[in-house]
Structure 1
């Protein structure tokens, strides 16, 4: 089978069977398309370790980041494991492929005090009753209060909220559901938006959005791009440089929880991380803050 046709089948497999996110499927498909370009007209069985090494080397020479090279390695490893399992190759050439180590960058975190002040400003702006201002305040409070991914926020329906218990049912990576708590500030912002803001936005759009929690200016369910724009404006000036996006609020929530004494396992559950190691990066952020405070305050630092 030709490499390109096999790559199409693999993309459907990771989408429908492994249920990877749409973004991951697109990235893997793009990586395999690039491999097909490097080996034009080749069958899957024609690709050996030397072809793969040359492909990665060319990517590094054009300046691809280590994270991109690592993802490309993961893409071809998954593809050839699948191809071997389905009898398309007799030997998996990717087994000898060495992935470049990723740099471990610490996430950018919005300062707790500055973020709180900005949320208070948004609350005051929403008091006038403008539907978009009410929505934006509730949206940012919910991202920060629930430590949500942007896809989880966009997928929220009214029925997913328990406004009495202050919890939300969200669908995370791998279509896994979890229950996340949110605080009093987010609850008040949501109540104001649901009662006063959302009905006005709903009247502008299609009935298909009738259950969506967060609506755009034309009444349809908000998408990630629109959420990013709202958050970027909200965070402007408080994170250094550009405002940052929804994930900046998720980073902030995780770090501030740990700074406040939350148990690492509890934070893992709130974030929906499959591995505790993924959550542990936030302990490094907290340790950096402790070290910085020490250096500033201790006379022998």
Structure 2
């Protein structure tokens, strides 16, 4: 530790001992705390601070700024890595106040930097169609193979066509579908129910599955009212649905596609087509429109990219 023997070093050593013995932190976590606090004590020493009681909020904020900007010995840290270091510093100061090593906590008002907002991943309509066409719904093979293909096509059409979560899709019962009206009753998070329209492609795929495939998969005493059945006649699991999607994505040559990718694509394509964000909120079952508005950032980003690559004076 920089400046071995100072009150600051002693406080850090005591804090690390507390984390190891009383909190029982794992060795890797302790190593991260030790590394982050070593950098903190070095930064404080450079500002003439050798005792936690002398540290003020400006010192802590300067340390955070240095983490993000980097210096001759350290590259700039991401928001996540800088945030981890700030968490260690905040813990040290809280401990110091609790143990009487300092009268005030200068880090209390210093928040870890927020990580950049990760935009939902969506794929193009062309990629969606490639994915859906990669499901061998009408291929040869045994009746069981054909039935599973029809099931998988209906499942993926529903995931994209209605924007439902994978847990919502596999949780559907046959009676949750109103084929005549083209709606499905979805049980979402927190037991909340919503009604979503089922588009023409998904309806046709579901009709084919219900008429030609589900009777083939059904077994007496298994599955009950479940809409999607596995090969043994029970309710299709989330893992089984994942495997169906992964297999189709592999055949379509698409990487990193998940059930949520189809949900993201559903929302993004609706907004690209002019749908109101509050309508999309209802379709997705979001409790707050703020959650849905993340998708508007995706469409704005696409507009910016198209403009930047297409307009002759965009890069002047």
For the aligned pair, the TM-score class normalised by the smaller chain equals: 0.5 to 0.7
Match of 2:268 among 246, 255, 258: 255
Alignment correspondent of 2:302: 289
What CA distance in whole angstroms lies between the structure 1 residues aligned with 2:35 and 2:161?
40
What CA distance in whole angstroms lies between the structure 2 residues aligned with 1:245 and 1:217?
22
Alignment correspondent of 2:201: 185
CA contact (8 A) 2:173 2:226 kept: yes
Match of 1:137 among 142, 153, 165: 153
User: Is residue 211 of structure 1 aligned with residue 216 of structure 2?
Assistant: no
Alignment correspondent of 1:108: 121
CA contact (8 A) 1:110 1:238 kept: no
How many residues get paired? Answer: 226
Alignment correspondent of 1:91: none
Shift of the 97–300 alpha-carbon distance from structure 1 to 2, 3 Å rule, reads closer
CA contact (8 A) 2:187 2:194 kept: yes
Please state whether the residue corresponding to 2:231 is helix, strand or coil.
coil
The alpha carbon displacement at 1:290 in A equals: 1.0
User: Is residue 118 of structure 1 aligned with residue 131 of structure 2?
Assistant: yes
CA contact (8 A) 2:134 2:248 kept: no
Match of 1:222 among 236, 243, 266: 236
Larger Rg: 2
Shift of the 156–96 alpha-carbon distance from structure 1 to 2, 3 Å rule, reads farther
Alignment correspondent of 2:59: none
CA contact (8 A) 1:108 1:239 kept: no
> Residues 138-196 of structure 1, C-alpha deviation per residue, up to 9 Å, x if partnerless?
00000001100111011100010000111111111111111111100000000000010
User: Is residue 166 of structure 1 aligned with residue 150 of structure 2?
Assistant: no
Q: Answer with 100-109 or 250-259: which moved more.
A: 100-109
Alignment correspondent of 1:39: 23
CA contact (8 A) 1:115 1:238 kept: no
What CA distance in whole angstroms lies between the structure 1 residues aligned with 2:131 and 2:298?
22
Stretches of structure 2 lacking an aligned partner (at least 5 in a row): 1-18, 37-78, 88-107
Shift of the 39–220 alpha-carbon distance from structure 1 to 2, 3 Å rule, reads same
The alpha carbon displacement at 1:293 in A equals: 1.4
Shift of the 216–39 alpha-carbon distance from structure 1 to 2, 3 Å rule, reads same
> Residues 223-248 of structure 1, C-alpha deviation per residue, up to 9 Å, x if partnerless?
11111111122233768533x21101
Shift of the 58–163 alpha-carbon distance from structure 1 to 2, 3 Å rule, reads farther
What CA distance in whole angstroms lies between the structure 1 residues aligned with 2:205 and 2:309?
37
User: Is residue 195 of structure 1 aligned with residue 211 of structure 2?
Assistant: yes
Matches within 5 A, 1:258-273: 258-273=271-286
Alignment correspondent of 2:55: none
CA RMSD of aligned residues (A): 3.5
Please state whether the residue corresponding to 1:286 is helix, strand or coil.
helix
Shift of the 180–300 alpha-carbon distance from structure 1 to 2, 3 Å rule, reads same
Stretches of structure 1 lacking an aligned partner (at least 5 in a row): 1-34, 41-53, 74-94
What CA distance in whole angstroms lies between the structure 2 residues aligned with 1:212 and 1:274?
27
The alpha carbon displacement at 1:38 in A equals: 6.2
Q: Answer with 206-215 or 246-255: which moved more.
A: 206-215
What CA distance in whole angstroms lies between the structure 1 residues aligned with 2:34 and 2:221?
47
What CA distance in whole angstroms lies between the structure 1 residues aligned with 2:183 and 2:158?
11
